Chains A and B, each alone.
Chain A
Amino acid sequence: MFKSARSILDDKLALIGLSTIIILLVIAICAPSVSPYDPMKINLQERLSPPSLEHPMGTDDLGRDYLSRIIYGTRISMTAAALITMISLIIGLIVGTASGYFGGIVDETLMRIVDIMLAFPSLIITIAIAGILGPTFENLIIAMTVTGWVGYSRLIRSSVLLVKEQDFVVSSKAIGCSDLRVVFDHIVPNAIAPIVVLATLDMGNVILGLCGMSFLGLGAQPPTPEWGSMLEAGKPFMESMPTLMIFPGLMIMITVMAFNFLGDGLRDALDPRIKAKVEI
């Protein structure tokens, strides 16, 4: 564990990613005290003002302070992405271990379902579910979880298959440990490293997906300061006030990149077998 912490510190990109994520988390948690104004307060006298000392990112078409909205957007995106990743991981863990551990008909059925899910571009399924359930942020989170668990279940299944036949698992079965105990005490801890890597890399993709769907109008609805819906709201003012569309996009990019950097670094540190490293 110590060794992996050291290699993370040696990896400049991963370190940049980690510090960015910490900063974003602090911003997200302290949003009310960090943001200079109320993100929802409409001030029609100051609508569409360019960046200034008073409003570092300017104001939007309703005169709301854009910096404050961006800051609150951090909170919304991070919470939603963490929630989706967590629920997907738990479902994937259950399906993957059941599939790998029990094998046979259970495995065959679950993996066919996974195959079918993989046949569709996940964005299309998400649009269908979010569209049919109704365009709210909660429904979007449900829709993204429905498509999100598939990758985890495959990964966890293959990790389980890898350790299942090893001596320590066979011996714990021989001394009469229950299936649940074998799974949670012996199999899951050995599969945790690749899962952490996937979850970190996935956080970036989930944020991209969330903002994309809100941009389509199928996620967070207008007064909510969410980056994707802010981009959508800024689109008509692209010509007169391009900053309205540049800042939310920039925040999405920075956040996604930070998770990608950290995920790559973690993969190198935790799993020396994979050398698909992006190094500069």
Chain B
Amino acid sequence: MADRTGYIARQAIRYSVSLFIIVTLLFIIPRMMPGDPFISVLGEEVYYRSPELVAELKAQYGLDRPLPEQYISYLQNLVQGNFGYSFHYSQPVWDVIAYKMGWTFVLLIPSVILGAILGIVLGSVAGWRHGRGMDTAVTSLFLFIYSMPHYWLAMIFVLLFAFYLGLFPLSGITSGGLAGAEKLKDVLWHMALPTFVLTLFGASYNYFIMRGSVLQVLGEGFVLTARAKGLSERDVLFRHVLKNSLLPLVTVIALDFGFMVSGALLVEIVFSWGGMGTLVYDAVLARDYPLLHGSFLVIAVCVLAANFIADALYAVLDPRIRGGKAA
């Protein structure tokens, strides 16, 4: 027990250090990049014609002070939850991100969960019955999906289900002008296609890992022993094979999070879903540094948190890890 707590505490310190370094890098990198953000904020004409205005604005944002001083006030602001002000949206960065993040989670969380369930179930059946008809069919299907660009499958679905069949809307989050249960129904209807695309990708990823993991465990001595003891096939599968095969998947699902964030980004753009994907994309095009900075920080915190949870869960589930082997 003490081992376990110690291990988790060590991991927490490691992740905090990583977070601190990320925060620092996010301070340094934009200040090294070429191009002055004020050019795109003010327009080239104003920027070059009135240097006094630029100087005044820089003073207002504190960009004229020496770097160490900027760094300290930057850290102070972060601790107070002040992420700055978005040029592009004319709103505090945190407000914009909190709103968009919500919509991304609406898409991501069901997709990660459904993708994990689908991948695990199909993967374990395929591994258990490998070489049979069902394994061949599902494996081929997932091989196709795994090699496809997400956004291309999204476009094909839009073409088939929204354009030709007219079953789902072409894009967007809501049709607008609705409230209450009607609105919820409308949002669910709009998110059906993007969620389906993301679920398929999450599932294809988990499927191959689960299938490989089951195949590997099937070759272990204890499975042979279990069978030799005369356990029913069902008991062998559920009590011996699956219990051991699921372990690698705990980390994979957490790491999946990053993979799914990237996938969601392109899929969001195809469906004009106003989440983090479209936000980051717009922020890059508008060179909205405070917004970009905030988005990267929030994404990094989410990914680090997911990894930390995976590490902690792993320590709880696998007694072999606790000793001292920090990955």
Contacts and interface: CB of A to CB of B under 8 A. Distances in A.
B280 interface: yes
Which of B209, B259, B262 counts the most A-chain CB atoms under 10 A from its CB?
B262
B304 to A, nearest CB: 5
A116 B149 contact: no
Please classify the interface of chain B as helix (H, G, I), strand (E, B), loop, or mixed, using the class held by over half of its residues. helix
B242 interface: no
B163 A238 contact: yes
B205 interface: no
Contacts of B307: 119
A242 B149 CA distance: 17
B216 A276 contact: yes
A119 B254 CA distance: 12
A132 B22 contact: no
B215 interface: yes
B151 A260 contact: no
Interface string B272-315: 00000000110011010000100010011001100100000000
B219 A120 contact: no
Interface stretch (A91-99, A179-187, A207-215): A207-215
Interface in B175-224: 208-209, 211-212, 215-216, 219
Contacts of A120: 258, 296, 299-300, 303
A245 B155 contact: yes
Contact of A127 (B21, B35, B140, B284): B284
Nearest to B151: A215
A128 B296 contact: yes
Contacts of B21: 112, 116
Interface string A254-280: 001100100000000000000111111
A253 interface: yes
Contacts of A253: 144, 147-149, 152
A124 B139 contact: no
A215 B163 CA distance: 21
Contact of B149 (A115, A215, A280): A215
Given A120-B300, A128-B284, A249 B155 contact: yes
A89 interface: no
Interface string B14-45: 00011001100100001001110000000000
Which of A128, A228, A256 counts the most B-chain CB atoms under 10 A from its CB?
A128
Contacts of B149: 208, 211-212, 215, 228, 231, 249, 252-253
Contacts of A219: none
Contacts of B287: 132
B120 interface: no
B112 interface: no
Contacts of B22: 116, 119
A131 interface: yes
Interface string A150-166: 00000000000000000
Contacts of A133: 33-34
A49 B35 CA distance: 43
B130 to A, nearest CB: 8
Contacts of A39: none
Contact of A238 (B155, B262, B285): B155
Nearest to A115: B18
B155 A235 contact: yes
B262 A124 contact: yes
Contact of B156 (A121, A208, A249, A257): A249
Given A211-B149, A275-B219, A260 B296 contact: no
Contacts of A235: 155
A1 to B, nearest CB: 26
Contacts of A172: none
Interface string B136-158: 10011001101111111001101
A31 interface: no
10 contacts: A115-B18, A123-B266, A133-B34, A215-B149, A242-B159, A245-B155, A253-B144, A260-B143, A276-B208, A276-B212
Interface of A: 112, 115-116, 119-124, 127-128, 131-133, 204, 208, 211-212, 215-216, 218, 228, 231, 235, 238-239, 242, 245-246, 249, 252-253, 256-257, 260, 275-280
8 closest A-B pairs by beta carbon, nearest first, are A131-B284, A123-B262, A249-B152, A276-B212, A257-B147, A121-B258, A121-B262, A256-B147
Given A112-B17, A260-B146, A278-B208, 13 more contacts: A120-B300, A123-B266, A204-B147, A212-B266, A215-B151, A218-B284, A239-B159, A253-B147, A257-B144, A260-B143, A275-B219, A276-B216, A278-B212
